[in-house]
Structure 1
Amino acid sequence: MRRLGDLEAEIMDRLWTWQRPATVREVCDDINTTRPVAYTTVMTVAGILHTKGWLVRTKERRAWVYTPARSREAYAAALMEDGLGVSKDRRAALLQFVEGMSAEEVAALRQALENVGTEAEA
């Protein structure tokens, strides 16, 4: 999976943060509070995200309303999986990744591994 482009990431970030469906106009207006972007540009990129499977859209009156098809966490997990896939030695790459984690992140990883272990036994 390729990383999201800059504007793709901005659009997804807003939709993930808002946790509600939104129109291109809402997204565009919010982005324009920090930098200028054309409505048609946001509309085009939202359409691309829909085609890529990152957004679901439904028609409300005359406008498309967009909702993320996948969570921010699913995106992060896919990026990590791709990162591991680049290495010829996945174990070494994973070790490097874990060594850079905080104590809280290591504890969360341990808990996740325990949960996966108990789910596999069930």
Structure 2
Amino acid sequence: MAKHADDRGVGAAPAPRRGAGELEAEVLGALWAGGGPLTPTQLLGALGGELAYNTVHTILTRLREKGLVVRTTLDGHPAYAPAQGAAEWSAGQMRAVLERGADRTAILHRFVSSLDPADERALRAALSEDSP
């Protein structure tokens, strides 16, 4: 009787690949949730899944080169902390999307018109705080 690929544990569908920047965002999210610097091993545990230590270390190196994390020590081991808060990082991402567009007014209009009522109220309140 012939064995099927599934019987050997071979041929299982590979895990879906993450989109560009998705793993970096997951690492930043774990750092923000951590409440302080984390070592690569602690990050590996916080992320779960099937990431290799080397993968986490590589992502941390890239984030450090981009100025998104700072390296420090924790109990004598290298550790990493976010260089900015989650809200500041997210605002930067939104600004980058806006800057890539050709028609900023159209992008802003479409964005605002797609907000749910609570987010629209929060945005209006933020804009009125900045008004003279």
TM over 0.5, yes or no?
Answer: yes
Measured at CA, do residues 70 and 4 of structure 1 come closer, stay the same or move farther in structure 2, by a change above 3 Å? farther
Aligned residues: 114
Which residue is 1:70 aligned to?
Answer: 84
- 1:1-122 equivalences under 5 Å are 5-32=21-48, 35-117=49-131, 121=132
Distance 1:63 1:86 in 2: 40
User: Percent sequence identity over matched residues?
Assistant: 32
Q: TM-score, normalised by structure 2?
A: 0.78
Q: Unpaired runs of 5+ in structure 2? A: 1-18
Distance 1:49 1:30 in 2: 17
Q: Deviations over 1:2-52 (max 9, x none)?
A: x971221111011112222111100112223xx211112111211211111
- Dislocated runs of 4+, deviation >3 Å: none
Q: Choose 1 or 2 for highest CA Rg.
A: 2
Give the structure with the higher percent helix: 1
Q: Deviations over 1:38-69 (max 9, x none)?
A: 11211121121111111011123542111100
8 Å contact from structure 2 (residues 37, 74) kept in 1: no
Q: TM-score, normalised by structure 1?
A: 0.83
Larger RCO (CA within 8 A; separation ≥ 6): 1
Query: SS of the counterpart of 2:71?
Result: strand
Q: Unpaired runs of 5+ in structure 1? A: none
Residue type at the aligned position of 1:30:
A
